[in-house]
Chains A and B, each alone.
Chain A
Amino acid sequence: MMPKLGLICLLLFICVWPVSARAGILNIQEVVTPKGLKVWLVEDHTVPVISLKFAFKHSGAVNDPADKQGLARLLSNTLDEGAGDLDSKAFQGQLNDLSISLIFSSTRDDFGGGLKTLSKNRDAAFNLLKLALTSPRFDQEAIERMREANLSRIRSDMTDPEWMVARIMNDELFKQHPYAMNSGGTLTSLEKITATDLRKKVKEQLTRDRLLISIAGDIRQEDVSAIIDGIFGDLPETAAALDVAPAPFPAGQTSVLFKKDIPQSVIQIALPGIAQHDPDYFAAEIMNYTLGGAGFGSRLTEVVREQRGLTYGIYSGLTEMDFAQTLNIGSSTKNTSVNELIDLTKAELLKMTNQPITADELNSAKTYLIGSVPLDLTSTDSITSYMLGFQASNLPKNYLDIREAGLKAVTATDVQRVAKRLFNPEQMLTIIVGNPDNFTASKTVTQLPNVE
């Protein structure tokens, strides 16, 4: 019953979780600035390094117009190409000379960025970030150069089988939903994006009401408010709400083949996933770990790689986005073994629904999923990544403690229940790029969707 309690707790946001009296796994402080911005902070003076990560919720590629796919990506490439009086070379030169790393990035859901600086250069770093967000130049020269770099990236990627399989998967999985678009842009859509489009996106979507901020490292709590209001305080206040519906998982058992003359076929399988706020999420984490998340020790690796030598790697993973969740399985094998690999995978899925996992598997999954977290909390950057991830998923500050208690409470029956819920033979999408022997696909693709 613990997971259910966990959910209620999350919904009410009161979260007096009966874990233990000991300190939390990651002790996050929350600072609310005079301008009303909420900041999560982990102070740590081990190394003179500061990491600041932020995201504008729902300002990502999901907003890209269909004929201007790649807008969010191109914005992330051009925001650091000059601002205020500094042209591209001057702006990049200052970052470089002061060993400051400033990176903007876009997921499907959110537009964000990260700043990493040595303490001695922090004021300059904060100023450069503020300048980039509040007075980006979007000089034509820089736009053209970044456009060209993106076109070159697409031309390199478009024959890479792993990239191809992911592109086809997105298209098949999300159909008419905005998630089906190519967030990196297409060879034609990138050509249509103008400085006006970039400016408009900044003005309308990089707003304070959408802003999530995490900061960690060599910084004191009493300094945070002034720094954060200084950088973000002058941004526009609000954005119009994003109007996107959840993407349903496509019905039916579908397999899609893109025939390509290579010695090894690349395979991706998608099944319905589960939201992080779902009461069964912790059971799903354990199920995924046991199935294929663990790598070595997981059932898929054991059966497909260790016992039969069919692949170098087979993995499963849970993906959560704001409007869709999936469970993915990825692998690759020589063309003559594709059917065998897929059959073995299906048999393992079935087994997971037919009988509970063993007590050893359950314990091993719990120990790993709980015990490996501190391994990741050893650098300033990874701490801000964790915090921003929780903020973006609307999880509370003590989520790691809640998760630990939630994982501990999961039973083998819970795992079997969630497997039954997710593994429906009538909802399974398989994409293959390669030249598999004797494989009957329900659909063949000869053109990559949304690339040219």
Chain B
Amino acid sequence: MKFLPTLSALTILLAASSSWAETKPQRVFNAETFTLSNGMEVVVVPNHRAPVVTHMVWYKVGAADEPQGDGVSGAAHFLEHLMFKGSKAVAPGEFSRLIRSLGGEDNAFTSWDFTAYFQSISKTYLPTVMALEADRMININPPAKDVETELPVIIEERRQRTDNDPRALFMEQLRAVMFNTSPYGIPIIGWRDEMPKLTWQHAHDYYKTWYAPNNAILIVSGDITAEQLKPLAEKYYGFIPSKPIPAHIRPAVPEFSAEQRLTLRHADIRQPALIRGWRVPSFQQNPEVSYNLQVLEELISSGSATRLYQALVVKQKLASSVDLSYDGDNRGDGSLWLYAEPVPGVTLEKLETAIEQEFSAIIKDGFTDEELAKAKTRLIDSAIYARDSVAGPAMIIGQAMSAGATLEDIETWPAKIQAVERSGVEDVMKTFLDPRTTTSKAVTGYMLPEKETP
């Protein structure tokens, strides 16, 4: 579990408690949870600020669970689109039109480990959206002509997000190298040459295999209580039969001994950049390491007053930006990503060496207790800000729980961060970022303009 990268990605904020050290441990959201008889987990986040709710269904399955080796990719995301294309009871496109005409917003998104559908709407219409969402959990039935027009839509989506942008294509390639045998190396939307082969059969097989109440989490945030939600959840979702869910396969990536370096030279790159990614444990794989990595990221790369920016941008003046981020909300491997842009006249080689030297210096000298305390306070304070929203908490809880965290893990997150020790943070820095031992395990990318080096 790791909140912050998610938040920036989804433009939401995360939360925790501030005067934490001195006062009694506070729970982040004070959410309540219960489970329906068919195994569907339910989480309620009461927030009575406005008479609105955010209703989300998170399927604990994503692009990484697609069949491997069939020469097709992108079925999970294609299915997400087809979920809007009608059921036996609802006409294609009617779902979203109806939500809009009730003054609500709706959308959906797919990741490697989860697929989520949400509506934000006046609480009056909560039963309506629950009925609609439950319907498409079992009754999806898009007409062939709508399947046919949706395939070019997702191909245009890929062009817009990836094929039009050499930087996005390069990131896709870096991930493919880093995750190698793992499905995390396959783009969620699918490979350009594999997407055209997608059919209703691929989406439907995936739907039949994975979409079930016992593989889903219902999260309702807003002007409602668990007591009010319980009968509604039983009524709309409780009758849907559960089914056996296959294991989620997340293969271990082999350790190769040769360094993995990629260089992209492209006319559309005017600003060179250095990218490095490391595979590291996710929260699910190792909670303790994950908490240490969360504090490490905050400590060395959070704003212009912290270590990496101060060393490389302010003091050495080699970079115009530098950022390290940790992604740990996954069933399988998590990752750390470094992104840095050199100032004109500085080569990527020089910048890379300077960053490695800074890492080595940190490993040699360690951190101060003051730095550690400040980083932990900032993280814990962020949990208070996270409560200042209706949709935000549902996003945070859904993402963490669909990767395997419990609601208790999320609610007690500030206490776990508070308990992180300096030695633990120094250990993960040494284990995962020591240039002498980890560079060969990382993947390093150089993005450069077509001709002369900067």
Contact = CB atoms under 8 A, between A and B. Distances in A.
Given A97-B374, A378-B47, A149 B321 contact: yes
Interface residues of A, number: 63
A363 B153 CA distance: 29
A264 B149 contact: no
Interface string A343-372: 000000000000000000001100110111
Interface string A297-330: 1000010011111111100000000000000000
Q: Which size class do B's interface residues fall under?
A: 35 or more
Interface string B372-402: 0010011001101101111110000000000
B306 interface: yes
A145 B313 contact: yes
Contact of B382 (A99, A120, A379): A99
Contacts of A17: none
B302 A89 contact: no
A97 B377 contact: yes
Contacts of B343: 148, 152
Contact of B320 (A92, A148, A158): A148
B76 interface: no
A99 B378 contact: yes
A145 B121 contact: no
A152 B323 CA distance: 15
Contact of B384 (A47, A158, A312): A47
Interface in A69-109: 88-89, 92-93, 95-97, 99
A368 B101 contact: yes
Nearest to A380: B388
A99 B381 contact: yes
Interface in B102-150: 102-105, 120-122, 146, 148-150
B389 A96 contact: no
Given A367-B103, A368-B101, A311 B156 contact: yes
B357 interface: no
A92 to B, nearest CB: 4
Interface stretch (B267-275, B347-355, B416-424, B438-446): B267-275
A148 B44 CA distance: 47
Contact of B49 (A44, A156, A161, A295): A44
Contacts of A145: 313-314, 317, 320
B152 interface: yes
Contact of B96 (A96, A264, A297, A377): A297
Nearest to A262: B164
Contacts of B150: 309
Interface string B45-59: 001111110000000
Interface in B139-178: 146, 148-154, 156-157, 159-160, 163-165
A152 B122 contact: no
Nearest to B123: A374
A160 interface: yes
Contact of A312 (B47, B84, B156, B268): B156
Nearest to B387: A47
Interface string B336-370: 00000101100000000000000000000000000
Nearest to B449: A155
Contacts of B391: 378
B104 A372 contact: yes
B164 A309 contact: no
Contacts of A306: 92-93, 146, 149
A264 B100 contact: no
A277 interface: no
A156 B159 contact: no
Contacts of B392: 379
A193 interface: no
A450 interface: no
Contact of B306 (A96, A297, A302): A96
B310 interface: yes
B163 A264 contact: yes
A432 interface: no
B5 to A, nearest CB: 18
A375 B104 contact: yes
A120 B19 contact: yes
B67 interface: no
B346 to A, nearest CB: 11
A392 to B, nearest CB: 22
A20 interface: no
A372 B160 CA distance: 28
B49 A46 contact: yes
Nearest to A381: B388
Contacts of B103: 367-368, 370-372, 375
B240 to A, nearest CB: 25
A380 B102 CA distance: 25
A54 B425 CA distance: 40
A302 B269 contact: no
Interface string A138-177: 0001000100110110011011110000000000000000
A156 B149 contact: no
Contacts of B156: 264, 309-312, 332-334
A313 B304 CA distance: 36
A324 to B, nearest CB: 28
A379 B96 CA distance: 24
A129 interface: no
Given A118-B384, A297-B96, A364 B268 contact: no
Given A306-B93, A368-B103, A375-B104, A47 B374 contact: no
B341 A92 contact: no
A48 interface: yes
Interface string B264-301: 00011111000000000000000000000000000000
B90 to A, nearest CB: 13
Contacts of A262: 163-164
B303 interface: yes
Contacts of A378: 47, 49-50, 52, 222, 389-391
A263 interface: yes
A45 to B, nearest CB: 10
Contacts of A160: 165
B304 A92 contact: yes
Contact of A89 (B159, B310, B377): B310
B355 to A, nearest CB: 17
Contacts of B153: 305, 309, 311-312
A190 interface: no
Contact of A159 (B19, B102, B270, B305): B270
Nearest to A148: B320
A367 B101 CA distance: 6
B113 to A, nearest CB: 23
Given A48-B384, A96-B374, A264 B104 contact: no
B100 A374 contact: no
Contacts of A439: none
A96 B370 CA distance: 13
Contacts of A141: 314
A159 B269 contact: yes
B261 interface: no
Contacts of B317: 145
A330 B387 CA distance: 34
Contacts of B160: 264, 312-313, 332
Nearest to B382: A99
A263 B163 contact: yes
A13 interface: no
B101 A89 contact: no
20 contacts: A46-B48, A46-B49, A47-B384, A92-B304, A96-B378, A97-B305, A118-B384, A264-B163, A309-B153, A312-B153, A313-B160, A364-B100, A368-B104, A372-B105, A374-B51, A375-B50, A375-B120, A375-B390, A377-B50, A379-B392
Given A47-B384, A92-B305, A379-B390, 18 more contacts: A92-B304, A99-B378, A99-B385, A155-B271, A264-B156, A296-B96, A297-B93, A297-B97, A306-B93, A309-B152, A312-B160, A368-B102, A371-B104, A372-B104, A374-B51, A375-B50, A375-B104, A379-B389
The 5 A-B pairs with the shortest beta carbon distances in the complex, nearest first, are A371-B103, A309-B152, A296-B96, A99-B381, A155-B271
